[in-house]
Amino acid sequence: ARLANDLAEALDHFGLQRSILVGHSMGALTLMQYLHLHGTQRVAAVALVDQSPRIVTDDSWRLGLFGSCSAAMLSGMIAGARQDLAGTLLNEVGALGGAWLQRQLSVEAPLGRMLRRRLGRIDVRPLLDLAESLALADFRASLSRLDAPLLVVLGARSPHYAGVPLDGWYRDTVKHAQISIYPHAGHSPHVSEPLRFARDLERFIDDHA
């Protein structure tokens, strides 16, 4: 909510009355929060990049992170990071990367020791507070009422949402939405396929600016 209000204050400060808002990942959730709080009065159009309207899952909602990240799982990860950020983060990365990476990130390995030193200097409390607020967010109902043009860009190889049929949910929920799936992109389609993203965004702006 604070990030969404920061955005509202920025629009006020610069006197922007008809903006096209583009958000990726947490930025997309910030835009959803902005729309929930402030509506579309000053919004010409919205683009959301590789994000679900609700990141935690339960028996009735399987379209959150990984298709299987429950609120309890996310809360456990956040609690672990509050106690030991480096250990929690490196264990998660190592588990995804396999046995070789796990060895490189261990307490005994030079890389693991260096990363633990660096991560130990970071005050992560504000980020973890933010993560907790994101875990509570649910913008499904407010997006169903969205009356501004919407572009949704999804990465087919996203480590967060690959195999999660978010495209179908957006098509069913926001009938006027334009959905683009980038076959070679991960969580950051604007990085993986920058030229296509730039062209798609330019066309979207031309149509709605």
Contact 111, 104 (CB under 8 A): yes
pLDDT at 186 over 90: yes
DSSP 8-state secondary structure symbol assigned to residue 57: B
d(CA 73, CA 69): 6
Residue 181 banded pLDDT, cuts 50, 70, 90: very high
Burial class of residue 209 in the structure, from the number of CB atoms within 10 Å of its CB (0-12 exposed, 13-18 middle, 19+ buried): exposed
Read off the pTM: 0.86
Quick: pLDDT tens for 103-161.
888 888 999 899 989 888 888 888 889 989 999 999 999 999 999 999 999 999 998 99
Identify the pLDDT of residue 165: 97
Residues found in the chain: 209
Residue 87 banded pLDDT, cuts 50, 70, 90: confident
